[in-house]
Amino acid sequence: MGVTKANLGRGAGILMPISALPGPYGIGTLGKSAYEFADFAAESGFRYWQVLPVGPTSFGDSPYQSFSAFAGNPYFIDLDFLIEEGLLLKEEADQVSFGENETDIDYAAIFHNRFTLLRKAYGRSKHKGKKEYTAFLKENAFWIEDYSFYMAVKFHFENRSWQEWDEEIKYRREDAVQKYQKLLADEIDFWKFCQFKFRLQWNRLKTYVNGKGLKFIGDIPLYVAMDSSDVWVHHDLFELDEDCEPIHIAGVPPDAFSDDGQRWGNPLYRWDVMEAQDFLWWRERMKANASLYDVIRIDHFIGIVNYWSIAADCPTAIEGEWKKGPGEKLLKAVLEVIGDAGIIAEDLGVLTKPVKNLIAKLGFPGMKIIEFGLDCEPDNDYLPHNYTTSNTVAYIGTHDNETLVGFLNGCDREQLTKIKIYFGARTNKDLPDQIIRSLIACVADVAVIQTQDLLGLDNAARTNLPSTVGQNWRWRATKEQIDGIDKLYYRELFRRYNR
């Protein structure tokens, strides 16, 4: 069943979030720079472009804490395309400040200024009578009304979490729903417009990317944010008490990233209720993601088999307990709706035997992280010589890891000597290139390199430091940096190792 869907074929991938693309408006978009990046990736010989989740972000700016499991981020709507459509004036966009540093995303500036421009575009748009808009609403009927209503009410209550709204609408009482739908009708239509434009621009980019011989690998969080339209609308699907407060929350026990574990705060699913509904919400979610991406990486895949349940009032993740997830029943439902899309199982963490068995049975490729192997102990599963199957996606590191240069900068002399011996590097300076070469040469079908590691950047360019808030998800590349990467070198390297 899953084997043919998961067979990705041998190739190289590049990890580049949409937010990190160059461009003039403070954050990467689905505009010109995205097309130029696709050109660069194709000319360099890459076969996969992996992105982080593209949903609308909330406090902390994490794409893994989104207002919706279905919607796209309005920040990614390209303003130049709106200008070309006559919905904005160039001078209107140029007069707005989106931040001062082209390599750092100023989310506060973007939040305060982006929606003003999008509202101007909405006011000038004549999309409502068009067939493609009607088709968009029909295709996304499961979530579009709920999400747009949620965002309209959220802005009405000055962006507070839905748990802090007036009681009548917090609990979605029928008379309150009708009242606010009438009161906020135009605002609701604005949020539908944003999603319509996002999807049009995404579809156009995806067509271009696929035409270049590239496939999109998308990343979806296993869990959804408490402050999301999904939890507000579908109370019954989550472990909430009668006051809509979470009973148990998601996270992981102590691991390589944190001595206290990670307390993510996401509400846990009521898997029994979901199963009774034949996993309808998950079916719709995965069907929506399969229309966005060619391959879907399910973050924290192990939580489908067994998950760490933490009491909501526990300050750390230490005092949690393992609970049994839906396992194969959920994945069978998912495979029925995703068509030709592939699945990657992000199987990092505590790999129990049931997790290993399920991944093997369904044929999903798992993941390997070379940085996890740089203690260079011979039996470390993350060192390339221990990769036992080609049905694997291998990385130097992901968005949660240090950059390669940053990691090596933190190693002492003894450790660097071990790493140099293992990877055949004569000097410390040679190490990053040798490690990347080992990744490309390894048996894994797909080898993914972070853009920061291609650029040789240190931890100032790190995407995310887990369990921290404030400086994450902010890094952006410049056009000059991307243009400076030696395309011919990587194209030849990929050819030599049959990628």
Whether 259 is a known active-site residue: answer: no
> Between the CA of residue 356 and those of 272, 306, 312, what are the distances in Å?
23, 12, 29
- Given 146, 187, 227, 299, which residue is catalytic? 299
**Taking a C-beta distance cutoff of 8 angstroms, is the pair 88, 5 a contact?**
no
User: In this structure, what token pair is assigned to residue 158?
Assistant: 């000055």
CA 366/CA 386 separation, integer angstroms: 14
What residues contact residue 260 under an 8 Å CB cut-off, 6+ apart?
254, 316, 317, 318, 467
pLDDT value of position 366: 94
**Taking a C-beta distance cutoff of 8 angstroms, is the pair 33, 451 a contact?**
no
User: In the chain, how long is the greatest CA-to-CA distance?
Assistant: 73
List beta partners, residue 50. 15, 217
Q: Which of 450, 451, 449 is nearest to 481 (CA)?
A: 451
> Between the CA of residue 26 and those of 29, 65, 83, 96, what are the distances in Å?
9, 21, 17, 10
| pLDDT tens per residue across all 499 residues of the chain | 433 445 689 999 999 999 999 999 999 999 999 999 999 999 999 999 999 999 999 888 999 999 999 999 999 999 999 999 999 999 999 999 999 899 999 999 999 999 999 999 999 999 998 999 999 999 999 999 999 999 999 999 999 999 999 999 999 999 999 999 999 999 999 999 999 999 999 999 999 999 999 999 999 999 999 999 999 999 999 999 999 999 999 998 887 667 888 888 999 999 999 999 999 999 999 999 999 999 999 999 999 999 999 999 999 999 899 999 999 999 999 999 999 999 999 998 777 899 999 999 999 999 999 999 999 999 999 999 999 999 999 999 999 999 999 999 999 999 999 999 999 999 999 999 999 999 999 999 999 999 999 999 999 999 999 878 889 999 999 999 999 999 999 999 999 999 9
What residues contact residue 171 under an 8 Å CB cut-off, 6+ apart?
244
**Taking a C-beta distance cutoff of 8 angstroms, is the pair 446, 439 a contact?**
no
CA 178/CA 169 separation, integer angstroms: 10
pLDDT value of position 340: 93
**Taking a C-beta distance cutoff of 8 angstroms, is the pair 239, 245 a contact?**
no
CA 115/CA 432 separation, integer angstroms: 41
pLDDT value of position 257: 63
pLDDT value of position 253: 87
Q: Edge-to-edge strand order for the sheet containing 215-220? A: 342-345, 295-298, 215-220, 48-50, 11-15, 446-450, 392-395, 366-369
Within a 10 A sphere around the Cβ of 97, how many other Cβ atoms?
A: 11
pLDDT value of position 6: 52
- The domain limits of the chain are 2-496
The CATH code of domain 2-496 reads 3.20.20.80
Neighbour-count burial for 166-196, b at 16+ CB within 10 Å, e otherwise: eeebbbbeeebeeebeeebeebbebbbbbbb
Whether 278 is a known active-site residue: answer: no
- Given 78, 146, 219, 346, which residue is catalytic? 346
**Taking a C-beta distance cutoff of 8 angstroms, is the pair 169, 156 a contact?**
no
Whether 299 is a known active-site residue: answer: yes
pLDDT tens digits, residue range 211-270?
999 999 999 999 999 999 999 999 999 999 999 999 999 998 887 667 888 888 999 999
Residues listed for the chain? 499
- Given 336, 400, 433, 458, which residue is catalytic? 400
